[in-house]
A and B are shown apart, each in its own frame.
Chain A
Amino acid sequence: MLTIDRATRDAILAHARNDHPDEACGVVAGPEDSDRPARFIPMLNAARSPTFYEFDSADLLQLYKEMAANDEEPVVIYHSHTATEAYPSRTDIAYASEPNAHYVLVSTRTDDTDEFRSFRIVDGVVTEEPVEVVESYA
């Protein structure tokens, strides 16, 4: 299960809306082994595409250096789909390489419905998990 605070969930949804019709992407970092998404880090989609996303390579290195310096890990890795459901695509599965991360998918295919789902992607196997939204972490 993914437990995430409402403000961070809303920030991810807002980022996706804002970047539509391109895909939006980012990370929520948290203390190592805490499983708590604490620090929202929107990333630039270097592909600037409605069907693909990629962290810029220099940004990616900077991000991982920052997280290492803070003893953090990527608890959530999120991106949006702009015309299809919030479910990992074959490309998403092929690239997924953080077995401990919650892969969050958002869809902006409709204006009025928020789609926010979370998955584990390990060795090419996708497992959807429940999302619990909390006001704050206890």
Chain B
Amino acid sequence: MAIEVKIPTILRSYTGGAKAVDGTGDTLSALIDNLDGSHPGIKGRLITDDGGLHRFVNVYVNDEDVRFTGSLDTALKDGDAVTILPAVAGG
């Protein structure tokens, strides 16, 4: 079992064009490290230099925005579905 991660258009250059990839990890943070192993560079698009989740992306675990569930510490288990979407925002 693994965790399915849906990848937005803007990050598909890291996944060979794949719309979804599998990863593993007990937390969102561990999952992103795992993804970066298979898809080098993707972590830098999700995590800031300060180690937080980038404000330009929204990450959902089973349809819950992780900002409300502990952000990078959000616990994951096999079979969870993670969706990454770019925030649509501006000034």
Contacts and interface: CB of A to CB of B under 8 A. Distances in A.
Interface in A1-41: 25, 27
A98 B9 contact: yes
A100 B8 CA distance: 12
Interface residues on A, range: 20 to 34
A89 B89 CA distance: 11
Interface stretch (B25-33, B35-43, B59-67, B70-78): B59-67
Question: How many residues of B sit at the interface, in one of the four size bands?
Answer: 10 to 19
Given A60-B85, A61-B60, A95 B10 contact: no
B23 to A, nearest CB: 19
A90 B91 contact: yes
Contacts of A60: 58, 85, 87-88
Nearest to A73: B9
Interface of B: 8-10, 56, 58, 60, 63, 65, 67, 83, 85-91
Interface of A: 25, 27, 43, 47, 51-55, 57-58, 60-61, 64, 73, 77, 79, 88-92, 94-100
